[in-house]
């Protein structure tokens, strides 16, 4: 199985606004900076806006023994000998609270909480209804990857 992530319209709009804000902030810091303490805050915001770009999911590939999650700048391998990987279309994320992460800027990526599910990680660029649930065998925290 191989799946290339696609952006929903909501994610595209939030991403476009984020890139616009990144460009405007970068312009003012480079060309209209007065070297004040606010510049330090501005550079911190720029770093915060660059990380989701670097960690943007590109595709997942499952060859039976390994699940490969390719992001823009790195790749993560999940070996079935260390992780349990299952498919589910029964996951309902309504009422989920984002604890830390991106709320639509290059996808919904980060730590989320739902009372019945507890704290979990999520990678979702569109609402597909189908999820891969990846859990380390000695851990209760799960990674939910939306795919179609």
How many separate domains does the chain show? 1
Per-residue pLDDT of 70-121, as tens digits, reads 999 999 999 999 999 999 988 888 889 999 998 899 999 999 999 988 999 9
Q: Answer left, alpha or beta for residue 89, where phi above 0 means left and psi between -120 and 50 means alpha.
A: alpha
Distant-in-sequence, close-in-space partners of 42: CB < 8 Å, separation ≥ 6: 25, 28, 29
Domain boundaries, position 40? 1-148
pLDDT of residue 5: 95
Question: Do the beta carbons of residue 106 and residue 120 sit within 8 Å?
Answer: no
Per-residue pLDDT of 50-79, as tens digits, reads 999 999 999 999 998 999 999 999 999 999
Tokens 């079935």 belong to which residue? 80
Q: How confident is the model at residue 126 (pLDDT cuts 50, 70, 90)?
A: very high
pTM assigned to the model: 0.85
Question: How many residues belong to the chain?
Answer: 148
């Amino acid at each position: 199985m191989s799946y290339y992530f696609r952006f929903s319209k909501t994610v595209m709009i939030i991403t476009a606004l984020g890139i616009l804000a990144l460009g405007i902030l970068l312009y003012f810091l480079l060309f209209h900076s007065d070297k004040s303490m606010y510049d330090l805050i501005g550079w911190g915001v720029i770093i915060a806006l660059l990380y989701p770009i670097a960690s943007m999911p590109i595709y997942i590939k499952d060859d039976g023994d390994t699940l490969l999650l390719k992001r823009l700048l790195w790749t993560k391998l999940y070996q079935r000998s260390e992780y349990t990987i299952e498919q589910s279309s029964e996951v309902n994320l309504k009422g989920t609270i984002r604890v830390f992460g991106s709320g639509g800027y290059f996808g919904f990526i980060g730590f989320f909480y739902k009372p019945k599910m507890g704290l979990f990680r999520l990678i979702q660029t569109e609402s597909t209804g189908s999820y891969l649930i990846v859990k380390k065998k000695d851990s209760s925290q799960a990674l939910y990857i939306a795919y179609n």
